[in-house]
Chain A
Amino acid sequence: SAVLNVDLQTDAMLQVDISDALSERDKVKFTVHTKSTLPNFKQNEFSVVRQHEEFIWLHDSFVENEEYAGYIIPPAPPRPDFDASREKLQKLGEGEGSMTKEEFTKMKQELEAEYLAIFKKTVAMHEVFLCRVAAHPVLRKDLNFHVFLEYNQDLSVRGKNKKEKLEDFFKNVVKSADGVLVAGVKDVDDFFEHEKTFLLEYHNRVKDASAKSDRMIRSHKNAADDINRIASSLYTLGTQDSTDLCKFFLKVSELFEKTRKIEARIAADEDLKLADLLKYYLRESQAAKDLLYRRSRALVDYENANKALDKARAKNRDVLQAETSQQLCCHKFEKISESAKQELIDFKTRRVAAFRKNLVELAELELKHAKGNLQLLQGCLGILKGNT
């Protein structure tokens, strides 16, 4: 799906979407399609092929850019993970001899549908990232972003090697240690103090809810799978003979076949509307926390620069240098604070809107499926009771 972004000031339009995707052995190739009237692009419409690592490169380049310290960097999409699905398909292939042809075909269809669902999800998540960037008034102008969109060769961004991953890990450890330190200092500004308290708690709770929603949905899928096998088993029983009871079994088997499709859909919709929503806001709230951290760091730098200036004035040495440094820190801090405030307000607006949309859709889908189930059951019971 595409998001139309109109820059009211320059009248330039930037529209990004993933128009196609190809799943190969161990990677996914996304076709990133851009429509734009921005002058810096050579054409108005073009496409390139990108892999997951290149999205990560782009995200990291935003994070590392000092200019963007005052913004919530749109969270990077998670790595496409087909391992579990592939393993299941392989196991199915190995176990082909031990089940009937119908069972095998059914299971294969199920697993292929699952694979497809995961595929669609990863495409959606990569697309959301690009759309968020394209919607951001500052980030959309980023040069790396434009290169990402337009350069039709491989960006040659290899994944981080072990050493770099380790460095990242330690950086995060330090950051969280700092985070704890910084979080302890009460902010003068009420707005930021409130946001800090709020985000710390909110992030943890979203994390918890996300993990638990996943477990719940997995159980639901398992139950739906069982109903599938029950349907098959009843079908076998029903085909043994043509007695009344056998006909009964066939009818019930048919019912279970249909209800389990609905149950599987319910699990999938809960996954999409609830679990994915929570996962996304887990990542976004982390990005918001990172922003607060950067602001805190800037504040600490500013306070240190003040102290250095005082010391310089006292010693009457390198005063000008200290003054310049202090002014830079002050400016940086104020710039971050100003944009951070707006970013956090926008974050809330986006969050509320996203939750509203997803919860309404979730409720509507649950209702639709429950009514579908109800109808099936009523219909089947009517026939079964009528015949006995």
Chain B
Amino acid sequence: MLLVTKKFHNKSEFEFMKLFAARNDSFLSADANVELSTDKSGSSARKEPSGPRHASSFTPSPAAMQPTSLEQVQATAEPNPLKTCENLSTNCVMFLSSLGDGMNAYVAYKVSTRTSLPMFRSKVFSVRRRFSDFLGLYEKLSVKQSLHGCIIPPPPEKSVVGMTKVKVGMDDPSSVEFVERRRAALERYLQRVVSHPSLLQDPDVREFLEREDLPRAVNTQALSGAGFLKMINKASDAVNKMTIKMNESDTWFEDKFQEVENEEQQLRKLHVVVDSLVNHRKELCGNTAVFAKSLAMLGNSEDNTALSRALSQLAEVEDKMEQLHQEQAASDFFIFAELLGDYIRLLGAVRGCFDQRMRAWQRWQEAQSTLQKKREAEAKLLWANKPDKLQQAKEEITEWEARVTQYERDFDRIGMTVRKEVLRFEKEKAKDFKSQIIKYLEAMLQSQQRLIKFWEAFLPEAKAIA
């Protein structure tokens, strides 16, 4: 097992990574602790410093508790305190190692879990997973009937270009950034999966966290970044082509769907601009470093001693500014841009749920029309007086009546699941955005405080010029 300890040729890119990692108390070659906990207001993920880990309460709301009416959906938007089990904690830990070499190399991620939930075999355990395993987990979850209507967190995007570069040479800073970005994204993905009460109960999720040797996932080609969205959009198209238009008894679903679409669009726009900011900030970083060196040279050739010294000091200040810009760019990217990216994908998943509901409705309608046809067929047979065929026709009618009932129940169930899921999602989203943006602003604040220190130190030097 190789620990990824790269030689960083470009100091600044490495610093970029380390700074962000440092601030989030995780280092590339160390463990990142993520603690999953729920308090009264829902589940959240907080990062704790590595070292002493402490327990906090985790409440899985039982998936078995399916609300049977709308009122109950509203009521159970908050996890019901009476349903909590004993105090538990689940941790998910990741760090990297790279195995193999050349084009067959792949990055393995260590997924560590700490839990006291009884359904797991042990309290602390870890497994090795590769990227395709994460995609495979999503694939398994997304086809489950029982999870239809649930908002299943989508995995991070595949990137052939990025990964190839990483395979070829792990040494260069952009590979480092790529791998760290992916690691962080996979961690968030898992956090979202395990903080979903229904998904945590799922045996595939448990297997993912626990099982030593996981069979290789196939068919993950479809789940490249572009592929995921294509899948969602194809489903949408199918729904749009439906000839029978649904008559909504209440407009909640239509309205909500429209909201989701709008929001996704807005977030995309915002993401583009934040990306631009990251790039400009990195540019600023580079240009500041270059300027600092130039200023130092100028200070060297200045023959007035005091001015020479002041210019050298100014060069140092600019150097420190470069550091700040770097940290700021990391913050822009890892806190802000990635948040937006995650939610653009999540909103796509939300749209997917609505589509699932539509398809359930479609199935129900088709079953009803089939039943109708069967009844008409029966009527014809009665007329034609064919008793043996009549028996079969009656059997078929019974069968289809049962199906119609089943599909109607499915449709209602999905509808309620979707409602519940959307409410939960909106709460999570609000919390996520608030906490991340606050974190982002706090980073900015720290930046400004340090900036003030730098210039306060410089000012007397400037005044000392004579």
Q: Which of A66-74, A178-186, A242-250, A289-297 contacts the other chain? A: A242-250
A208 sits at the interface (CB 8 A): yes
Q: Tell me the bound Cα distance from A207 to B267 in angstroms.
A: 43
List B contacts of A240 (CB < 8 A). Answer: 259, 262-263, 266
A367 touches B452 (CB 8 A): yes
Given A209-B298, A236-B266, A230 contacting B463 (CB threshold 8 A): no
Q: Answer whether residue A205 sits at the interface, using C-beta atoms and an 8 A cutoff.
A: yes
Closest to A231 in B: B273
- Residue of chain B at shortest CB distance from A377: B445
Contacts between chains A and B (CB distance < 8 A), count: 158
The answer to whether B451 touches A370 (Cβ under 8 A) is yes
- B455 near A363 with CB under 8 A, answer yes
Does A201 count as interface, using CB distance less than 8 angstroms? yes
Closest B residue to A381 by beta carbon equals: B441
Q: A201-245: which have CB < 8 Å to B?
A: 201-202, 205-206, 208-209, 212-213, 215-216, 218-220, 222-223, 226-227, 229-230, 233-234, 236-237, 240-241, 243-245
A377-B304 contact in complex given A227-B277, A230-B270, A233-B273, C-beta closer than 8 Å: no
Residues 298-334 of B contacting A (Cβ, < 8 Å) = 298, 300-304, 306-307, 310-311, 314
For the complex with contacts A352-B304, A356-B462, 16 further pairs of A-B residues with Cβ separation under 8 Å are: A206-B298, A220-B284, A226-B280, A229-B273, A230-B277, A233-B266, A237-B267, A240-B266, A252-B441, A356-B463, A356-B466, A360-B459, A360-B463, A363-B459, A367-B459, A384-B434
**Interfacial chain A residues near B466, Cβ < 8 Å:** 352, 356
Any B CB within 8 A of the CB of A330 = no
Q: How far is the CA of A223 from the CA of B465 in the complex (A)?
A: 32
**B235 part of interface (Cβ distance < 8 Å):** no
Q: Mark A185-198, 1 if CB is under 8 A from B, else 0.
A: 00000000000001
A220 CA to B285 CA in the complex, in Å?
9
Closest A-B pairs by Cβ, 10 of them: A219-B284, A226-B277, A356-B465, A359-B462, A216-B287, A233-B270, A212-B291, A245-B430, A222-B280, A374-B448
**Residue A366 at the chain B interface, CB threshold 8 Å:** yes
Contacts of A348 in B (CB 8 A): 303-304
A246 to B427, CA, bound (A): 13
| Known contacts A216-B284, A381-B438: A205-B301 contact under CB 8 Å | yes
Closest chain-B Cβ to A49's Cβ sits at a distance in Å of: 39
Bound Cα distance A90, B430 (Å) = 40
B26 cross-chain contacts in A, Cβ below 8 A: none
State which residues 345-374 of A face B: CB under 8 Å: 348, 351-352, 355-356, 359-360, 362-364, 366-367, 370-371, 373-374
Contact status A359-B273, CB under 8 Å: no
B residues at A contact (CB < 8 Å): 259, 262-263, 266-267, 269-270, 273-274, 276-277, 280-281, 283-284, 287-288, 290-291, 294-295, 297-298, 300-304, 306-307, 310-311, 314, 426, 429-430, 433-434, 437-438, 441-442, 444-445, 448-449, 451-452, 455-456, 458-459, 462-463, 465-466
Q: Does A378 contact B (CB under 8 A)?
A: yes
Q: Are A363 and B458 in contact (CB under 8 A)?
A: yes
A1 interface residue per 8 A CB criterion = no
Whether B287 pairs with A219 at a CB distance below 8 angstroms is yes
Taking a contact as CB atoms closer than 8 A, the residue among A216, A234, A359 that contacts B291 in the complex is A216
B290 near A380: Cβ-Cβ < 8 Å: no
Answer whether residue A111 sits at the interface, using C-beta atoms and an 8 A cutoff: no
Neighbouring B residues of A202 by C-beta, 8 Å: 298, 301-302
Whether B430 contacts A216 by the Cβ 8 Å rule is no
Residues of B within 8 A of A259 (CB): 444
Measured in the bound complex, the distance between the Cα atoms of B304 and A348 in whole Å is 8
> Please, how many angstroms separate the alpha-carbon atoms of A201 and B466 in the complex?
22
Distance between Cα atoms of A234 and B270 in the complex (Å): 7
> In chain A, what residue has the closest Cβ to B269?
A233
Instruction: Report the nearest A residue to B315, measured CB to CB.
Output: A209
Q: Which of B262, B280, B297, B441 contacts A255 (CB 8 A)?
A: B441
Chain A CB count within 10 A is highest, among B269, B300, B433, B434, for B434
A125-148 near B? 1/0 per residue, CB < 8 Å: 000000000000000000000000
Would you mind naming 17 contact pairs between A and B with Cβ atoms under 8 Å apart?
Answer: A205-B298, A215-B291, A216-B287, A216-B288, A220-B284, A223-B277, A226-B277, A229-B276, A230-B277, A243-B426, A248-B430, A248-B437, A352-B306, A355-B465, A364-B459, A370-B451, A370-B455
A355 to B298, CA, bound (A): 12
- What distance in Å separates the Cβ of A289 from its nearest Cβ neighbour in chain B? 14
The contact of B273 among A226, A252, A255, A356, by CB within 8 Å, is A226
Q: Which residue of A lies closest to B445 (CB)?
A: A377
Q: Which of B426, B442, B455 contacts A367 (CB 8 A)?
A: B455
Complex: A385 Cα to B430 Cα, angstroms: 13
Which B residues are in CB contact (< 8 Å) with A219?
Answer: 280, 283-284, 287-288
**Would you call A388 an interface residue if the criterion is a C-beta within 8 Å of the partner chain's C-beta atoms?**
yes
Answer whether A226 and B429 are a contact pair too, CB < 8 Å, given A233-B269, A374-B452: no
A149 to B149, CA, bound (A): 82
A234-B270, A370-B452, A385-B438 known; A359 vs B287 contact (CB < 8 Å): no
Cα–Cα distance between A351 and B434 once the two chains are bound (Å): 51
In the bound complex, residues from chain A placing their C-beta under 8 Å from that of B458 are 363
What is the distance, in angstroms, from A180's C-beta to the closest C-beta of chain B? 19
A222, A240, A243 pick with most chain B CB within 10 angstroms: A222
In the complex the two chains form, what is the Cα distance from A381 to B439 in whole Å? 10
Determine whether the beta carbon of B452 is less than 8 Å from that of A230: no
**Residue numbers in A under 8 Å from B455 (CB-CB):** 363, 366-367, 370
- The answer for the CA separation of A209 and B287 in the assembled complex, in Å, is 11
Q: A215–B437 Cα gap in the complex (Å)?
A: 30
Chain B nearest Cβ from A244, distance in angstroms: 6
Which residues of A from 74 to 115 have beta carbons under 8 Å from B? none
Say yes or no: A371-B294 contact (C-beta < 8 A), given A202-B301, A226-B280: no
Which residue of chain B has its CB nearest to the CB of A348? B304
Q: Given that A233-B266, A370-B451 are known contacts, is A363 also in contact with B437, CB under 8 Å in the complex?
A: no
A198→B459 contact, CB < 8 A: no
Contact B456 A367, beta carbon cutoff 8 Å: yes
